[in-house]
Amino acid sequence: MKVNLNKLAILLFGAMLMLAACGTSSNTPKEEGQNQGGSQQEENQNENENKNEEPAQKFKIGVTQIVEHDSLNAAFDGFKKAIEDAGLDVEWDVQNALGEPNNNPTIATNLVNAGVDLIFANSTPSAQSVASETQDIPIVFTSVTDAVGAELVESMEKPGGNVTGTIDNHPDAIPNTMKFLKEELDAKKVGMVFNSGEQNSRAQVDTAKKAAEELGITVVEASVSTSAEVKQATESLLGQVDSLYIITDNTVVSALDSVVDVANSNKLPLMVGEFDSVRNGGLGAYGFEYYDIGYEAGQMAVKILKDGVKPADIPAQVPQNLKLVMNKETAETIGLEIKDEWKAELE
| Residues 85-137 pLDDT 10s | 999 999 999 999 999 999 999 999 999 999 999 999 999 999 999 999 999 99
37 located within any domain: no
Mean pLDDT over residues 250-279, rounded? 96
Residue 184 has pLDDT above 90, yes or no: yes
On whether both 86 and 101 belong to a single domain, the answer is yes
Phi, psi of 67 (to 5 degrees): -165, 165
d(CA 100, CA 235): 23
Residue 100 CB neighbour total at 10 angstroms: 12
Query: Do 73 and 160 fall within a single domain?
Result: yes
Indicate whether 111 and 122 sit together in one domain. yes
pLDDT above 50 (res 29): no
Q: Are residues 164 and 301 in the same domain?
A: yes
Q: Is residue 143 part of a domain?
A: yes
Domain match, 219 and 295 both: no
Q: What dihedral angle (degrees, nearest 10) is formed by the CA atoms of 79, 84, 86, 88?
A: 110
Query: For residue 165, which of 140, 143, 148 has the smallest C-alpha distance?
Result: 140
Does residue 144 sit in the same domain as residue 278? no
Digit-coded pLDDT (tens) for 205-262: 999 999 999 999 999 999 999 999 999 999 999 999 999 999 999 999 999 999 999 9
Confidence band (pLDDT; 50, 70, 90) for 42? low
Q: What is the mean pLDDT of residues 331-346?
A: 80
Lowest-confidence region among 59-63, 145-149, 239-243, 297-301: 145-149
Instruction: Provide the 8-state DSSP code for 185.
Output: T
Task: Flag whether 277 is in a domain.
Answer: yes
At 145-168, the pLDDT tens digits run: 999 999 999 999 999 999 999 999
The predicted pLDDT at position 5 comes to: 42
Q: Is the dihedral of CA 206, 212, 218, 221 positive or negative?
A: negative
- Confidence bin at 12 (pLDDT 50/70/90): very low
Q: 335 and 218 in one domain?
A: yes
50-54, 81-85, 216-220: range with lowest mean pLDDT: 50-54
Q: With pLDDT > 90 as the criterion, what percentage of the chain qualifies?
A: 76
Task: Tell me, yes or no, whether 22 lies in a domain.
Answer: no
pLDDT at 129: 97
* Residue 165 shares a structural domain with residue 236: no
More confident of the two residues 51 and 229 = 229
Q: Which domain CATH number covers 258? A: 3.40.50.2300
The structural domain count of the chain equals 2
**Cβ pair 66, 104 in contact under 8 A:** yes
Question: Is the domain of 281 the same as that of 263?
Answer: yes
* Residue range 56-84: mean pLDDT, rounded: 95
- In terms of residue numbers, what domain contains 179? 173-286+323-342
**CB under 8 Å to 315, separation ≥6 — which residues?**
156, 157, 158, 159, 164
Name the residue with higher pLDDT: 74 or 321.
74
Same domain assignment for residues 240 and 149? no
pLDDT of the residue at 54: 56
The confidence score (pLDDT) of residue 300 equals 98
- Is residue 35 in some structural domain? no
Output the pTM of the full model. 0.74
The pLDDT, as a whole number, for residue 23 is: 47
Provide the pLDDT confidence category of residue 9 given band limits of 50, 70 and 90.
Answer: very low
CA distances 270 to 7, 189, 245, 265, 314, Å, are: 124, 12, 6, 11, 37
Any domain includes 347: no
Do residues 202 and 251 both lie within one domain? yes
Query: pLDDT averaged over the chain?
Result: 87
Q: Is residue 186 part of a domain?
A: yes
Instruction: Return d(Cα 99, Cα 93) in angstroms, integer.
Output: 18
Under the banding of pLDDT at 50, 70 and 90, the label for residue 345 is low
% of the chain with per-residue pLDDT over 70:
83
Residues 82 and 208 in one domain: no
Q: Phi then psi for 291, rounded to 5 degrees?
A: -55, -40
Residues 6+ apart with CB under 8 A from 251: 67, 99, 194, 195, 198, 201, 224, 225, 226, 227, 230
Q: Does residue 159 fall inside a structural domain?
A: yes
The amino acid that residue 38 corresponds to is G
Q: Which of 283, 289, 270 is nearest to 342 (CA)?
A: 283
pLDDT at residue 330 is higher than 80: yes
- The distance from CA 146 to its chain's CA centroid, rounded to whole angstroms, is 16
